[in-house]
Amino acid sequence: MVLSSTTQAAPLDEARSAWATAWAEKPDLVSLGALGNIDENLEKVSSLLSVRLKGLGRKTFSNREWKAYWQRQQKEAHKFEVLLRQAGYNQMADGMRSWTKLAEEKIGNQDIYLAAIETERDALEKRLEASLSESTLKAEVHQAIPLGLSPFQLRQAMTAELEHDLASQERRTLLGEQALALIERQNESTDQMLVALRKDVTLARIEATIAAQEAASADPLWAELWAPIAATSRSKVGKLSLEESLGKQRLRGLRIEATLAASQINYRKAKMLILSAQIAEASSFSAWGDAIVTTSLHWLRDSLWKVILSLLAIWLLLKTVLHLIGRLSNTLEHVADDADESSTSQAEQRAGTIAAVFSGIAKVGAYALAVLTALEVIGINTGPIVGSVAILGLAVSFGSQNLVKDLVNGFFILIENQFAVGDVVTIGGATGTVEKINLRSTRLRQYDGTLHVIPNGAIDSVANSTRDWARVVVVVGVAYDSDLQTVENVINEVGETLYADALWRPQLDGAPTYVGVVELADSSVNIRCIARTVPGAQWAVSREYQRRIKDAFDEAGIEIPFPQMVMRNA
């Protein structure tokens, strides 16, 4: 290159190197290949569409890489051109100017490519979905009409089969029309892509021409720079020409496919007309009338007396089962009855809830079983009904998992007697008195009056402060100069006095006692005292116990210190 050791040489070399590097770091050309032969084999159609979708995905990624590649080429070529003009190399700058314009057109053509590819991908995805749906329809197997049916049932089965065939043909026709519309849309996008391909071939030829002209430069360094570009450009023209030829083949294949799809739609519409006429004939009033009369005569003669006896037996059995359920529920409530009419105990409440739940579930089960059995006796097939109920139950269970969890958790709370109305508990950080329990939720009243309604399914742990027994733990501080033996004697004496009090003795399980020193604090020696109480009495006992300790310490001259600050003036 005609660069000399001037102040401009270094920037020119840097620009040349940056442009050459940008050119060398080019992505691979991705070909979409031929579309393949589309025939009546749906599995082959689905496979070809899937392969085509994957190819379009790779092509989209490749085109985005090429767009970024030419954007970088444009940027570096323009920078190189400016420096060449500033250095006075106008002929070389003109070559770089041509390359910059080529890059601009390449970038615009990539946008056309991408738009066409996205359109075809959308159409192909919908075509693949329609193809799979049609494959599912072809996989449907008609069940043979069973023997031994009554004239009415035989007429029903024949009519149902004709209606099924008609509905199948309607769905196939609809899918075919959708597929045809998508094929036509794919046709348009392929045509757009072919336009972009043709322009790409033209631009590749321009690229090869520019590179060949610059490679023929009299400047050896400049010619050496452009020589590999010229060779690569000539090769690219051949590859893109081949891709253009494949694009034409794809377009012809899609047009043939559209013709086949249209003829198939016409065939299905003609078949639908024939099926509609057959259904109209099979569903005529006279045909149904003959079937009903014949079937009724057969049923009255052979089955009426059996049905009446079976229904009577089912009714008697249902009454017996309901009576047994009621007796069992009453027995459960009677076992927990404490003969106190003025109040309902925890055991009575728990037994009543369990009995009600059991009775309700058992009665629903008994009625459902009786109804299904009666329908079978009459001659109605209960299989679809049971299947529908099972599906509905599954849907409800998925939609109301939290409700089911609440009910199950509430049932076990009552069975295990984890807590009862009146207990003071801590649930999920909320502490209060239990006001109400049912299978769905627990109501907790906080000390300040706040009511917490907690779903039973959200209860993973419970701290019950009023179950079996409770303990009062009192920590009191005394001054460091206090006699600890005297403190112990005073505290134990207060405990004995409290336990001897007729008002407080029923709430205590023994006299409160001195435990010992638990902490040497900044301004006090902390002493622990404990007392065991009946459930729920711990708070009242704690208040009374601490009040008496305070009075006793005052009489004995024992100081209860508090934090103080002493200030001295120097």
Does residue 552 share a domain with residue 439? no
Residue 566 lies inside a defined structural domain of this protein: no
Asked which of 19-28, 140-149, 409-418, 498-507 is least confident by mean pLDDT, the reply is 140-149
Does residue 61 share a domain with residue 77? yes
Residue 510 lies inside a defined structural domain of this protein: yes
Averaged pLDDT, 4-10: 53
Does residue 96 share a domain with residue 211? yes
Confidence of residue 2 (pLDDT cuts 50, 70, 90): very low
Structure token digits, residue 52: 């085509």
Q: What is the pLDDT of residue 366?
A: 80
Does residue 361 share a domain with residue 308? yes
Strand partners, 430: 427
DSSP per residue over 218-284, as a string? SSHHHHHHHHHHHHHHHHHHHHHHHHHHHHHHHHHHHHHHHHHHHHHHHHHHHHHHHHHHHHHHHT-
Confidence of residue 544 (pLDDT cuts 50, 70, 90): very high
Q: At which residue do the structure tokens 């009724």 appear?
A: 296
E-strand ranges in 357-458 read 424-427, 430-437, 441-446, 451-455
pLDDT tens per residue across span 255-279 = 776 777 677 777 777 878 887 877 7
φ, ψ at 233 (rounded to 5°): -65, -40
Q: What is the pLDDT of residue 358?
A: 67
Pick 568 or 55 by higher pLDDT: 55
Confidence of residue 540 (pLDDT cuts 50, 70, 90): very high
Pick 215 or 306 by higher pLDDT: 215
Q: At which residue do the structure tokens 């599995």 appear?
A: 43
Averaged pLDDT, 302-312: 72
pLDDT tens per residue across span 112-160 = 877 777 777 777 766 666 666 555 555 555 555 665 566 666 666 777 7
Residue 549 lies inside a defined structural domain of this protein: yes
C-beta of residue 524 within 8 angstroms of C-beta of residue 477:
yes
pLDDT tens per residue across span 387-428 = 766 676 666 666 567 777 877 887 777 777 778 777 889 988
Q: Which domain holds residue 494?
A: 470-556
Does residue 475 share a domain with residue 435? no
Confidence of residue 1 (pLDDT cuts 50, 70, 90): very low
Domain count, the chain: 4
Answer whether 0.75 is exceeded by the pTM. Answer: no
Does residue 441 share a domain with residue 367? no
Does residue 490 share a domain with residue 361? no
- Count H helices and E strands in the chain, helices first: 12, 8
Residue 447 lies inside a defined structural domain of this protein: yes
Which helix (H) or strand (E) is 529 found in, with range? strand 525-533
The answer, yes or no, to whether residue 514 has pLDDT greater than 90, is yes
The answer, yes or no, to whether residue 57 has pLDDT greater than 60, is yes
pLDDT tens per residue across span 452-497 = 998 988 888 888 888 888 999 999 999 999 999 999 999 999 999 9
Does residue 236 share a domain with residue 87? yes
Structure token digits, residue 304: 């009426």
Residue 83 lies inside a defined structural domain of this protein: yes
**CATH code assigned at 452:** 2.30.30.60
pLDDT tens per residue across span 317-335 = 888 888 888 888 778 767 7
Residue type, 286: S
Does residue 491 share a domain with residue 455? no
Q: How far is CA 360 from CA 277, 395, 457, in A?
A: 53, 22, 21
Residue 343 lies inside a defined structural domain of this protein: yes
The domain boundary residue, chosen from 268, 296, 316? 268
Does residue 101 share a domain with residue 227? yes
Asked which of 30-39, 76-85, 458-467 is least confident by mean pLDDT, the reply is 30-39
Residue 126 lies inside a defined structural domain of this protein: yes
Averaged pLDDT, 6-17: 73
Percent of the chain with pLDDT over 70: 74
Confidence of residue 520 (pLDDT cuts 50, 70, 90): very high
C-beta of residue 291 within 8 angstroms of C-beta of residue 284:
no
